[in-house]
Amino acid sequence: MLQAIGLTSAPRRDLPSVVDDLTFEAPSGRVTVLLGATGAGKTTALRLMLELESGRGVTYFRGRPLHRIGHPAREVGVLLGDVPGHPARTARGQLRMLCAAAGVPASRADELLDVVGLAGLGDQRIGTLSAGMDRRLGLASALLGDPHTLVLDDPARGLSPREKSWLHGLLRAHAAEGGTVLHTTSDPKEAARSADRVVTIDDGRLVADQDVADFSRTRLRPRVAVRTPHAARLAAVVSREARAARRSVEVVAEDGSRLSVYGSTCAEVGDAAYRHGLPVHQLADEIGDAGPASAPPARPAGAAVPGPASTVAVSELPPPIPVRPARGPLRPVRYELRRLFGVRTTALIMAAVLVVSAGLSVLLARSGRTPLPGLLVAWPDLMPLPPAAFGAGLLGALSFGDEFRYPALAAGRGTVPRRLGLLLAKLVVSAAVALLLAVLAVLVNAEVLHLVYGGDLIGVPANARQLGASWAGLAIGCAWAGLLAAGVFRAAGAGVAAVLAVPVLVVPLVRKLLEGPSVRSIAGLPGRMRELAWLQWPYEADRWAMAAVRVVAHPVGVALSLSLSALICAYVFTSLRGRARW
């Protein structure tokens, strides 16, 4: 059972609340429809229930608010708006990525594709799906964790009559198994066809809470739908005969050839058309909207009947609804791998980086002025970063920025959860991809140089280990700088800008600070560190420690260290500030 109590949205800029003291129930085993015109507050009410909108009130899902449910995806299935996913990702890839987020087996994706009728379209990309397929995929996303409650915002929008019938049948089957279904609509006829209970709101306030039979009797009335090329003549004939027979009949012209006749039957309208020789192309009984509901607001179960004014107790306002963070994936590393490699963007970026890097390496070797390390990483003096380092930073920026644009963990959240497990998974995966790209760039450049200029050009430098550590640190540092900057500013472009800012702005500043003769030396640092440490490491580790110090002491290393430190502090600060609001 879903219980919404006192839902009230926070007013904005002296405007009235979109939702005002909304209270209703959606019982288990039944389909409940939240009915209202466009702008009545239906979507805002759902966002308040899901703790996505700030305001007051509380919503219980089987007796517990959403933030107290251990695994929300297994209790509540949500569909707000369009399917949240990258348009280049396949339908199967999208569901498998969400399986890792919900902590369910990946085989669940194929099962749901079969249930929603997309079994043969699993490899089709989300951006190419039609409106009906998009809604089917959205419903599959909502059913992924086998939830007890479904909360859907206008799920039949843009569907054909046949697809609407299929959707209503699936929702009815979920309710028949004991589940709770709540969905919104602005069509009273659809509410009458699909619901067991209809909750009508207007201007964010409860208007009526009725069983579907009472709703149909008070809100809808039967009519005869007629389509004829002589609509005006038939309307005049039916009205004239109704006045002669003293019957209450109303004829409404819908468009040029369609009439709606209230208070009559198909037989009476057909006989009148036949007597006057008027052709009829359509004649059918339908259910029409009788206008806004006039029933008084239903009183919640158990509420006391108010007595005289002197005996009415003034209740306190319900507690505020905080906007809470989405929960992180239950399998963050698996989720991140499927997110990263589920689209062709990653492979295309890596391929483009390797091609550009190989071309630059060949051009630099032709001039003969670039040393061997610069040739292997394809880093000319005119470029702020080598292609492989920039590609690593771009992939790192997309790790957060792409998700902010196409949220995948919960529909309508709009932000990526900042849980430590997810952040660590992103750092590990982005570092691994950056290291792979750095190694591939060196190997491809060496092979291309060997192929074009022969084997005399390529050799192993004397300080190969130090150069390799420096190269790996540069690639990983660029990836993490892009990742953290995109997470702080919630845009992939900000991550790319942060990666470029290190060599363009920070490195020249660090070089200015480090210019001039060195007065002090760090010689003997490993020995002094050994004296302070309570664990004695082998003497062979001194060489590695000095290599690491030299890498960090390099202007690029210092710049990356400063940039990463600033970004980490900004990330922690924004996370703590958001948590303080929650």
**What is the amino acid identity at position 581?**
R
Report phi then psi at 208, rounded to 5.
-155, 145
Sign of CA dihedral 76, 58, 410, 46: positive
Query: Tell me, what's the pLDDT at 219?
Result: 76
Neighbours of 194 (CB within 10 A): 24
Contact 314, 262 (CB under 8 A): no
Query: Tell me, what's the pLDDT at 199?
Result: 94
Q: In what order do the strands lie in the sheet with 205-211?
A: 76-79, 149-152, 180-185, 31-35, 197-202, 205-211
Query: Tell me, what's the pLDDT at 415?
Result: 42
Query: Tell me, what's the pLDDT at 314?
Result: 39
Neighbours of 441 (CB within 10 A): 28
Query: Tell me, what's the pLDDT at 439?
Result: 95
Is CATH 3.40.50.300 correct for 2-210? yes
Q: Residue 273: exposed, middle, or buried by beta-carbon count in 10 A (0-12, 13-18, 19+)? A: buried
The whole-model pTM stands at 0.69
DSSP string spanning 38-97?
Answer: TTSSHHHHHHHHTT-S-EEEEEEETTB-GGG-S-GGGTEEEE-SS--S-TTSBHHHHHHH
Question: Whose CA is closest to 50, among 95, 16, 19?
Answer: 19
Report phi then psi at 479, rounded to 5.
-60, -45
| H/E element, 268 | helix 266-275
Query: Tell me, what's the pLDDT at 450?
Result: 86
Question: Whose CA is closest to 563, among 505, 486, 481?
Answer: 481
Domain ranges for the chain, please list them: 2-210, 229-280, 332-581
Residue 9 Cα to chain centre, angstroms? 22
Neighbours of 474 (CB within 10 A): 27
Quote the Cα angle for 576-580-582, to 5°.
115
Q: Where are the alpha helices (DSSP H) in 490-540?
A: 492-501, 507-514, 525-532
**pLDDT, tens digit only, all 582 positions of the chain:** 899 999 999 887 777 888 999 999 999 999 999 999 988 999 999 999 988 888 999 999 999 988 888 788 888 988 887 666 778 889 999 888 888 877 888 888 899 898 888 888 889 988 888 888 888 888 888 888 888 999 999 988 878 888 888 889 999 999 999 999 999 999 888 888 889 999 999 989 999 999 988 887 777 778 888 999 999 999 999 999 999 988 888 888 877 788 888 888 899 999 999 999 999 999 988 776 655 444 434 433 333 333 333 333 333 444 555 555 556 677 888 888 988 888 888 999 999 999 999 999 999 888 878 888 888 889 887 888 899 999 999 999 988 766 655 544 444 443 445 567 888 888 999 999 999 999 999 999 999 988 888 766 666 666 777 788 888 888 998 899 898 888 888 788 888 888 888 777 766 665 665 565 554 555 555 555 555 555 555 555 555 555 555 555 555 666 667 677 777 777 777 665 554 444
